[in-house]
Amino acid sequence: MVSPTSFFGPLDPAPDAGWTEQPQPRKGFFTDTSVCIGCKACEVACKEWNAVPEDGLDLLGMSYDNTGMLGADSWRHVAFIEQPRPLGRGSAPFAGTPTGPSGTDVADAVTAAGVDALADASRIGSAQPGGFPVVDRAAERVREAGGQQFLGMPGTELPGRSAEGVGRSDVRWLMASDVCKHCTHAACLDVCPTGALFRTEFGTVVVQEDVCNGCGYCVSACPYGVIDKREGDGRAWKCTLCYDRIGDGGTPACAKACPTESIQYGDVDELRERAARRVEQLHAAGVEEARLYGHDPHDGVGGDGAFFLLLDEPEVYGLPPDPVVTTRDLGSMWKHAGMAAVGMLGVALAVFAGGGS
């Protein structure tokens, strides 16, 4: 049964935390990934406003993603997911639009030519200035195929909208800006021994860096793997939903910088209604895979303050499919521990009384 002090179930987190005077509407994010273009303006704006340190610009071998994951130095993470799609798939909203040839066949031919050249021992060591045997054989294959193929230049039209279908490929991109979910039931807050993590009057969860002792309990308690300890610092850091900005009536930096309004900020109740209408709109347009994630107050964390519209399963975006607050059973554990202690005390008293007689 859910009560105002439960560790699970739907509730309004700010009044539950004691913010009963001058109550504020719960604030949060709705991220519509169907309009995210992967510009990373949100990442830059977050770092700039919150003075989050640089976390490296290394290529990770994961497409164009050079952030990798959320962490102490990455409070926003734009995921780039490259998905192979069957060539010519007329998925909505591009149903009926022309599709162009894939570049895969050309790449396969060049690769095969390279393998042939390596297998030809007579050509090993015959490199000429300006090229290796593999390149020579690949060039021969291109000439045999009728000359060099022009693979196209970036156009100004939307993909698939040109009459010839030039530039379409069998790959689609999913992009999504991830962030702390500001859970209704935040396990990070439950396990913090110093009170460094606290619930704000807006229902968000914030770390006080001057109180954090770096114990790391919150890191293992987060069901999303969001909160992290900063290397060389030792304290825990994460998104604050720009507590200073929203306290002055402003908009969080990431949402302010988003050029496509993929990141929308506002009252959580209103955002949930807006998200439901957006899903209906996409379904009506034929995008049946559109779904919401983290919006349901009856899920394992009581609903998130930051939730998403996704175009594929949560696992594709690196999100847990069914997150549960890790302190959900804490109340029953305390209850059973108390009963066990009372039982042991009773046995001890009985033994003591029996020995005295």
Q: Which residues are annotated as a binding site for [4Fe-4S] cluster?
A: 36, 39, 42, 46, 180, 183, 188, 192, 212, 215, 218, 222, 239, 242, 254, 258
Q: Three-state DSSP class for 241?
A: coil
CA atoms within 13 A on the CB side of 188: 32
Residue 134's nearest CA partner among 142, 146, 103, 102 is 142
197-206 in b/e form (b: 16+ CB < 10 A) is: bebbbbbbbb
Q: Using CA atoms, how far apart are residues 275 and 346, in angstroms rounded to an integer? A: 56
Say if CB 96 and CB 182 are below 8 A apart.
no
| CA dihedral over 198, 72, 222, 333, signed as positive or negative | negative
DSSP, residue by residue, 185-225: S-HHHHH-SSS-EEE-TTS-EEE-TTT-----HHHHH-TTS
| Matching residue, tokens 């955002």 | 271
Cα gap 71→76, rounded to integer Å: 9
Centre a 10 Å sphere on the Cβ of residue 73 and count the other Cβ atoms it contains: 17
CA distance 101 to 87: 8
The pair phi, psi for residue 203, each rounded to 5°, is 85, 5
The three-point CA angle 316-40-26 to 5° equals 75
How is residue 314 annotated by DSSP? G
Give the contacts of 245 (CB within 8 A, at least 6 positions apart): 49, 251, 252, 253
Which residues belong to the annotated binding site? 36, 39, 42, 46, 180, 183, 188, 192, 212, 215, 218, 222, 239, 242, 254, 258
Indicate the burial class of 256 (C-beta count within 10 angstroms; 0-12, 13-18, 19 or more): middle
Rounded to whole angstroms, the Cα distance separating 116 from 121 reads 10
